[in-house]
Amino acid sequence: MGDEQFQQLAAEYSSRVLAIARRVCGSDDAALDIHQEVFLTLWKRRRCFTAPVNWNAYLYRTTVRKALEYVQKQRKEKILDPEYEKILSADNNPDDNAQVAELLGRLREALRKLPRHQAQVFILARLEGMDYPQIAKIVGCSEPTARVHLHRALRRLAHLMRDVLEREPV
Partner 1 sequence: MNHKYIQDNLAAYVLGELDGAAAEQIRTHLSDCADCRRAAEEMQNILRTAERMKDEPLDASLVALARRRLDETLLRLPSSFLSDRLPHPLLRYAAAAVILAGALLALHILGPQTLPDRRTMTVDAQRTGAEESADVFQKELEQTAQAFQKRDIRTLARLLQSEHEPTRLAAADCLAQIGDASVLPALDTLARQWTQVGENPYAKAAQTIRRRLAEQAD
The footprint of partner 1 (CB under 8 A) covers 2-4, 10-11, 14-15, 18-19, 22-23, 26, 28, 31-32, 35-36, 39-40, 43-48, 88-89, 100, 103-104, 107, 122, 126-129, 147, 150-152, 154-155, 157-158, 161-162, 165-166, 169-170
* Residue 80 beta carbon to partner 1: minimum distance, rounded to whole angstroms: 14
For partner 1, which is the closer residue by CB, 14 or 72? 14
Q: Are 57 and 128 in contact (CB under 8 A)?
A: no
Supply angle C-alpha 73, 58, 111, rounded to 5: 35
Q: What is the DSSP letter of 161?
A: T
* Residue 54 beta carbon to partner 1: minimum distance, rounded to whole angstroms: 20
* Residue 126 beta carbon to partner 1: minimum distance, rounded to whole angstroms: 4
For partner 1, which is the closer residue by CB, 10 or 98? 10
Q: For residue 88, give the amino acid letter.
A: L
CA dihedral for 21, 25, 31, 37, sign (positive or negative): negative
Report how far residue 156's alpha carbon sits from residue 83's, in angstroms, rounded to the nearest whole number.
Answer: 27
For partner 1, which is the closer residue by CB, 4 or 77? 4
* Residue 109 beta carbon to partner 1: minimum distance, rounded to whole angstroms: 12
Which residue stretches of the chain are H helix? 3-25, 28-44, 55-77, 82-88, 94-113, 116-122, 132-139, 143-160, 162-167
Report how far residue 158's alpha carbon sits from residue 153's, in angstroms, rounded to the nearest whole number.
Answer: 8
* Residue 147 beta carbon to partner 1: minimum distance, rounded to whole angstroms: 8
For partner 1, which is the closer residue by CB, 25 or 141? 25
